[in-house]
Structure 1
Amino acid sequence: MINHDELSKENISDTLLDLFKTFAKQDRKNRDYGVDEPLFHSEIYTLNEIREHEGIHITALAERCGVTKGAISQVLKKLEQKGLVIKEKDVRNQSRLILKVTAKGEIAYARHLEYQNQFKEKVVQVLKDAPDDKVRMIKDFLIQLEQQLDD
């Protein structure tokens, strides 16, 4: 028999908050991405944005990451020191710098994709026996919750 207290909306909220705390703890960890030194979440996230938007300039990168130009410049300095990204003059606008991922940065990017795939596999494993209508309900719930959090 199902205990109705376990299914309360507040209990689901508490479970989600615990999940968010676990994610936050994981995010704060630095991780080995196969480039001889660990990277923090902000660094790999920034590297990922640069790689997926090759040739992006600093202002646009700051906007995509939702941070100030000063904050993005600090992360970029660390990524440059680690040999993961380079800045080049924009041939179309000499006063602007564009960002590119180095060969070493490509290694970190590929390892980051591997970590993301491992997470996807964990989700698939947890949901492997769930019927399609339940999976759809969970997805709809998560989408709606994300929209609520973005407001």
Structure 2
Amino acid sequence: MNEQHMHPTDKTNTGSHKLGRVILQLQRLERQPRSFGEAGLLTPSEIHMIDAIGCEDGILMSALATRLGVTKGAVTQLVARLESKGLVTRTIHPADLRAIVVTLTETGKTAFRIHEEMHQQFYQQLRLQLSPEEIAVFEKCLDKLSELLRD
């Protein structure tokens, strides 16, 4: 059936099926560790934690939980794993002895930069295939999808 003769719900179902395939591909990627230079193999959750830490020059554990939308316990476990790999350090906040500040080590900063480069390469590929207007629509669709999935 050609797209001009499709019933509107057929187009929605096609979009839904495509979205389902993308979600499955993302789930597969989410389980695959990748190499980040001298930092070694890191899971997506590890590199996203490094990314959240790298956006600040030291961040509170509680702020990490909020930023990533996860529990403080999950942050504690992941930070401990990253610390054992030599990618982050934890220190007591100078003004609040109950608060813990997490910072990247030099190796953690290397992983952060490599991850940033990966994002730049992705957008470079996107710019080769889509116009600025199409990229704006793509990003708006991602924002809307994120809102729908959040509820």
Equivalent residue number for residue 45 of structure 1: 48
Are the counterparts in 1 of residues 34 and 41 from structure 2 also a CA contact under 8 Å? yes
Equivalent residue number for residue 143 of structure 2: 143
Q: Distance in 1 between matches of 2:73 and 2:135?
A: 41
1:122 partner SS: helix
1:94 partner SS: coil
* C-alpha distance 135-49 of structure 1, shift in aligned 2 (>3 A): closer
Aligned 1:78-117 pairs, distance under 5 A:
78-117=81-120
Corresponding position: 1:32 with 2:35: yes
TM-superposed CA distance for 1:95, in Å, is 2.4
Equivalent residue number for residue 126 of structure 2: 123
Q: Distance in 1 between matches of 2:135 and 2:65?
A: 35
Which is worse superposed, 31-40 or 2-11? 2-11
Structure 1: 4+ residue segments shifted above 4 A? 134-139
Count of residue pairs the alignment pairs up = 148
Are the counterparts in 2 of residues 58 and 72 from structure 1 also a CA contact under 8 Å? yes
Are the counterparts in 2 of residues 5 and 11 from structure 1 also a CA contact under 8 Å? no
TM-superposed CA distance for 1:42, in Å, is 0.8
Q: Distance in 2 between matches of 1:90 and 1:105?
A: 20
TM-superposed CA distance for 1:143, in Å, is 3.1
Deviations 1:90-129 (A, max 9, x none): 111122221111111110000001111121122222315x
TM-superposed CA distance for 1:148, in Å, is 2.1
Corresponding position: 1:20 with 2:29: no
Q: Distance in 1 between matches of 2:61 and 2:78?
A: 11
Equivalent residue number for residue 12 of structure 2: 9
Deviations 1:53-110 (A, max 9, x none): 2221112211211111211111111110111100112111122221111111110000
Structure 2 runs not aligned, ≥5 long: none
1:43 partner SS: helix
Are the counterparts in 1 of residues 33 and 42 from structure 2 also a CA contact under 8 Å? yes
Equivalent residue number for residue 66 of structure 2: 63
Which is worse superposed, 119-128 or 11-20? 119-128
1:54 partner SS: coil
TM-superposed CA distance for 1:138, in Å, is 4.2
| Percent of aligned pairs sharing the same letter | 30
Structure 1 runs not aligned, ≥5 long: none
Deviations 1:9-59 (A, max 9, x none): 110111111112112211211000102520001111111111112221112
